[in-house]
Chain A
Amino acid sequence: MPGLKAVASTILSVAVTFFGLLLVTFLIGRVMPIDPVLVVVGERASPEIYAKAVKELGLDQPIYIQFLDYIGKVLTGDFGKSLLTARPVLEDMARVFPATLELATVATIFGVFLGIPAGVIAAVNQGRWPDHLIRLVALFGYSLPVFWLALIALLVFYSELGWVAGFGRLDIFYEDIVPAVTGMILVDSLLAGDMEVFNNAVSHIILPSAVLGYFSLAYIARMTRSFMLEQLRQEYVTTARVKGLSESRVIWYHALGNVMVPLITVVALSYAFLLEGSVLTETVFAWPGLGFYITNSLLSADLNAVLGGTIVVGAAFIGINLLSDLLYKLVDPRTH
């Protein structure tokens, strides 16, 4: 029964969080000193055309009616139409979200596969040069503006060396060749068995994901280091060493194993952050993803799109949290 109760309370808290999310974004949208009608009719419209648009948008209704209307629509899966793209917001989301998901996933892989070993090496060599070096690298990752790093990366690896492709998700000639199944080009091209498109997509994603991955690497390495230091001070490590286990087995198996649980949260957090925090990277690389979409919509007072985007980000956050909880339980039986 406690399991059922936990599920119920999770569902309730998700529902409350969503309602709060909707309410706050909706209100912010409505009190912003921005006129959404202007987006529709433009700067030069006559008063008649303006008034017509106000009515069409339902903005002549009291604000609580507008909100209830919106909730009602959202519950039936209707997020309204984006003013900017003239398409249903849900359709836009289906297009931009996979682009960001793909980018964030590859970036997280970068972060995990480089960040965790780096953190372990730093902890083991505490106070010696590898530790200092890794700390320096991580420090850069923390303090460099992502925008600047993205441009430098483009300049060096795309423009000067020509190792990778430039902006966008594909060279434009490769657009629309493979059918969109998941919306993630890497996956779709593999599904279609088209290696040329796949290679082109890899060539495009490598730079933005490396730039983003660097920031997640810095965070993951730092956290791994401090978790590891804590573990290395524990008695079981000394015991293991006394028992004659090899140093690498002690570190990579016993100590790291115990660090995995808190690390899941760290990785999940950094993943969630990448999902919504990659706005600048997406802009520099002309990557048509979610962060870019939401910012654009916000600046243009495209309220339906902003609300839709917020819900998707919120859902992603909640989803990632649930997933990391689940992983927690799998990895560490004590949390059962």
Chain B
Amino acid sequence: MSAAAGVLLFGLSGPASAETPKDTLVIAAQIDDIVSLDPAEIFEFSGTDLANNVYDTLVELDPNNMGPLVPGIAESWSVADDGVTYTFKIREGAKFHSGNPITAEDAEFSIRRVIALEKTPSFILTQFGFTTENMEQTIKATGPYELTLVTDKPYAPSFVFNCLTAPVASIVDKKLAMEHEKDSDFGYEWLKTNSAGSGAYSLRSWKPNESYVLDANADYWRGAPAMKRVFVQHVPESNSQRLALEKGDIDIARNLSPDDIAAISGTPGIKVEDDLKGRILYFSLNQKDERLSNPKVIEAFKYLVDYEGMSQSFLRGQYTVHQAFLPLTYLGELKEKPYSLNLEKAKALLAEAGYADGFDVQIYVRTDPQRLEVAQALQQVWAQVGIKAELVTGTGKQILTQYRARQHQIYLGAWGPDYPDPHTNADTFAHNTDNSDEAGLTGKLAWRNAWEIPAMTKATEAAVLEKDSDKRAEMYRTIQREHQQTSPFVVMFQQIIQTAERDNVSGLRTGGATHDVFFWTVTKN
């Protein structure tokens, strides 16, 4: 008994909780998705957040106004009349965290190493025709502070620039990376767990599944950030995040459940900020299935979703109804929402298709509480028209493996854009160059659902070459309208990110639908 009492007393005397210092930001978040810190490889939510603060890109998006591009490492840029030659003027006098000056050679090295390393996000850059064979000619420092890129086609310049804001295009300190090169890996092994950037923050430490700590870069070319240090701690449980926020042990909780958000709102000292994210929630019908490829059946499914009901009940505050493949705030966004729950109409359509009594079908869904709830809600609605849906559940990887092999019937899932340009989702949802099984275009959802669309594929290819941004946006709207009506995709919702903060914190930008979190804008009073 006495031993326990002694331990208890120690606990009492210890610093149980302390308000966080004024120049320090403490964040609780789920960061166990970080697998690498190398910007050539980073492709997960938490990883891109980190890269966004540690590295700079040539051109950037303004966190306060997600529209026009703003200068990054490049002070200015231009496209030649040939439509394929891009020239970037690198900012003079800026330095990496190491103290090394930033030059065009670093930019050349950074883009080339992405092409050479061939990690997953490299496609964001290789889609401009850069290959290991031609990169010496197409990606070139043409002066100490001038970089030239030559694309294989005259793409829409907005497409090229938007892709260059993605973390994969981060500018890496060549000298530092090459000091750690092993087996001509461009410093990859080292950069997986270290950093060589020039961003507002430098990496102080990273413990996988535990935490990472960032130090402010006092010499940052935008000026030193207000928060001298940023602690991001991995706290998987929403409840634990909430308690710590209420207690004042942390400044920001990034992953609260709708229940916790509801419980916390109105609490003195805490505010909740909403930000529209790019992630969309959809289900899709495998066109290999004869029943599911019937246009009447496809249309019926679009009326068999209680869009409003779900967004106002269990998805409240975290998903808004959205019915097009481009997220809101993207160039070419489509706000029209032609579908709502209509059992009669769906019944009539099913009868016309010859399925008056419905049929049995399987929904493939990963065991994630939110997705399961959506699946169950769909199940209930479908049962009312005789469609008996069985849920096939498994971990993300299990279900995904079957989806990629086109073995599902109906797949319920989410999709987040890879880079802030409309081509990312158009390429995924409305582009399928070869519908054969052998093609293995597993990165394209149109292929995964065996949806053959020669005309729409052409339209998508044309849109990415359109130079006039307004015209380009209109082309995407046209594609989406047709997609909305004929595609085997039922897009239901777009995600809203809710960030709970102590009310002395201001200026945190979680990046909107197009980008990631920024810490350099944060202040505390």
Contacts and interface: CB of A to CB of B under 8 A. Distances in A.
Interface of A: 32-35, 38-39, 41-50, 52, 82-87, 92, 95, 106, 109-110, 113-114, 117, 151, 154-155, 158-159, 162-168, 171-173, 175-176, 196, 199-200, 202-203, 206, 283-286, 288, 292-293, 296, 299-301
B20 to A, nearest CB: 9
Nearest to B189: A86
A171 B15 contact: yes
B400 A285 contact: no
A42 B120 contact: yes
Contact of A113 (B4, B119, B249): B4
Contacts of B7: 106, 202, 206
B233 A286 contact: yes
Closest 4 CB pairs of A and B: A203-B14, A85-B208, A199-B14, A206-B11
A166 B243 contact: yes
Interface stretch (B87-95, B375-383, B391-399): B391-399
B8 A84 contact: no
A122 to B, nearest CB: 15
B50 interface: no
B209 A296 contact: yes
B411 to A, nearest CB: 12
Contacts of B213: 172, 175
Interface in B105-120: 118-120
A113 B1 CA distance: 6
Interface string B11-33: 11111111000001010100010
A84 B397 CA distance: 14
Contacts of B240: 154, 166-167, 284-286
A206 B8 contact: yes
B208 A286 contact: no
Contact of A166 (B1, B17, B443): B17
Contacts of A299: 395
20 contacts: A35-B400, A41-B120, A44-B443, A45-B442, A45-B443, A49-B119, A84-B32, A86-B193, A113-B4, A158-B243, A162-B16, A164-B14, A165-B16, A166-B247, A172-B231, A172-B233, A202-B11, A203-B16, A285-B240, A286-B240
A105 to B, nearest CB: 12
Given A86-B35, A114-B1, A172-B26, A52 B118 contact: yes
Contact of B239 (A86, A114, A284): A284
The binding surface of chain B is classed by DSSP as mixed
Contacts, number: 172
Interface in B267-299: none
Interface of B: 1, 3-4, 7-8, 10-18, 24, 26, 28, 32, 35-36, 43-44, 118-120, 122-123, 192-193, 205, 207-211, 213, 231, 233-237, 239-240, 243-244, 246-247, 249, 394-395, 397-398, 400-402, 404, 418, 440-443
Contacts of A296: 32, 209
A280 B402 CA distance: 29
Given A47-B442, A85-B208, A286-B233, A166 B244 contact: yes
B225 to A, nearest CB: 18
A109 B404 CA distance: 50
A155 B260 CA distance: 13
A159 B35 contact: no
Contacts of B1: 113-114, 117
B246 A159 contact: yes
A44 B123 contact: yes
A99 B499 CA distance: 30
Contacts of A34: 395, 397-398, 401
Contact of B3 (A84, A109, A176): A109
A44 B205 CA distance: 29
Nearest to B124: A44
Contact of B15 (A35, A154, A203, A293): A203
Given A92-B208, A155-B243, A171-B249, A113 B17 contact: no
A106 B208 CA distance: 25
B397 A167 contact: no
B97 to A, nearest CB: 19
Name, among A35, A176, A286, the residue most crowded by chain B CB atoms within 10 Å (CB to CB). Answer: A286
Contact of A300 (B192, B397, B440): B397
Contacts of A47: 440-442
Contacts of A84: 32, 35, 208-209
Contacts of B440: 47
A170 B34 CA distance: 22
Contacts of B12: 163
B397 A85 contact: no
B403 to A, nearest CB: 9
Contact of B4 (A48, A114, A164): A114
Contact of B398 (A33, A117, A202): A33
A113 B244 contact: no
Contacts of B209: 84-85, 288, 292-293, 296
Given A87-B193, A158-B243, A288-B210, 18 more contacts: A32-B398, A43-B400, A44-B120, A44-B418, A47-B442, A49-B122, A163-B11, A163-B12, A164-B14, A167-B233, A173-B24, A176-B205, A202-B7, A206-B11, A283-B237, A288-B234, A292-B209, A296-B209
